[in-house]
Amino acid sequence: MANQDEKLVKSEASFMRLRTSPKMRSLKGFYRKLKRNRAALVGGYLIILLMIIATIGPFFLSHGINDVDYTVRLQPPSSEFWLGTDHNGRDIFSRIIYGAQITLIVGFLSVIFGGVAGVVIGIVSGYYGGKIDAVIMRIMDVLLAFPGILLALAIVSILGPSIINVIYAVAIYSVPSFARIVRGSTLATKELEYVDASRALGASDFRLIFKHILPNVTSPLIVQATLSIATAILTASGLSFLGLGAQPPSPEWGAMLNDGRGYMYDSGYIALFPGLAIVLAVLAFNLFGDGIRDALDPKTK
């Protein structure tokens, strides 16, 4: 949640520079630039690793997520239980692997929902301008007035606690930052000569938006989406930690932290490993997002 504001500030300056240059349109050129950025590479590989773990990891586990066994409760890490067991004797390592699925799904889905809505709102606002723009941007200001996790918290309190509602909450929460960035890029692109030329030739609004405006907002969009996933993971795990998201016995990482909190005094590892998993996942997306921002920014070479 915290790096949301950094993104907002950067959106004013550096995001504006991120309009896709013709060269970057080719995926190959993008990849070549990306390869030179070590942070992006590390982040990218970490994300791929996380996805592999989330999809095929569960097939390799010898313990189930809800194999309750009170004879082995609160065991420290061992060769049998790599990261120890929790207060119900469940294998923490297995639960973390399963939890990766939940984390990634929540992260991706909420950002896709929020991103799509934000893009549509941003384009409409920037392209049509005038009163529509003024009204839409005031609405975005209102959403931004609920700082950090508070908006998500308010939404969950309306909809009721569940992981699905967390996805909606985080999606709504990420709409304004997408809308602002896309609006900015749209405003900048709209005035370019070739767009004018195309309009003069009689291109429809629809065509102008899809042919000319949208391709130009892709770069800032990719950066924003990646960084938003990091924020989404933090917010979602925070809500689950508060007991407002994924409910026990779900192996969601934030919920695991909440679940094991009471046993932390004697068994510190219970709270250590799910938290490390969150840090790793968030770090991966932050690294990748930072990296592609630098790679796509014409100012940094």
- The contact set with another protein (CB under 8 A) reads 1-6, 8-9, 138-139, 141-142, 145-150, 153-154, 156-161, 230, 234, 237-238, 241-244, 254, 257, 261, 264-265, 268, 271-272, 275, 278-279, 282-283, 286-287, 290
Decide whether 123 or 149 has the Cβ nearer to another protein: 149
Instruction: Enumerate the β-bridge partners of residue 91.
Output: 85
Toward another protein, which CB reaches closer, 234 or 296? 234
Residue type, position 204, single letter? S
Q: Which is nearer to another protein, 8 or 68 (CB)?
A: 8
Q: Taking the complex as a whole, how short is the minimal distance between the CB of residue 286 and another protein, in angstroms?
A: 5
- Looking at the Cβ atoms of 98 and 241, the one nearer to another protein is 241
Report in angstroms how near the CB of residue 142 gets to another protein at its nearest.
3
Cis, bond preceding 147 (omega within 30 deg of 0): no
The structure tokens 């890029």 sit at 185
What gap in Å lies between CA 94 and CA 277, rounded to an integer? Answer: 12
CB of 1 to another protein, least distance (A): 6
Rounded least distance, CB 171 to another protein, Å: 16
- Please state the closest distance from residue 118 (CB atom) to another protein, in A: 18
Residue 4 CB, shortest distance to another protein, in Å, is: 7
DSSP 20: P
Q: Which of 293, 131, 137, 125 is nearest to 209 (CA)?
A: 125
Which DSSP letter does residue 91 get? B
Widest CA span in the chain: 77
Structure tokens at 191: 């005035």
Given the complex with another protein, which of 47 and 209 has the nearer CB atom?
47
d(CA 118, CA 131) in angstroms, rounded, equals 18
> 13: part of which helix (H) or strand (E)?
helix 3-17
**How far apart are CB 245 and another protein at their closest, in Å?**
12
Which segments of 129-162 does DSSP mark as H helices, in order?
A: 130-144, 149-159
Q: How far is CA 180 from CA 50, 138, 173, 221, 301, in A?
A: 30, 11, 13, 11, 26
> How many CA atoms does the CB half-sphere of 149 hold within 13 Å?
18
Shorter beta-carbon distance to another protein: residue 171 or 208? 171
Of the pair 28, 138, the CB lying nearest another protein is at 138
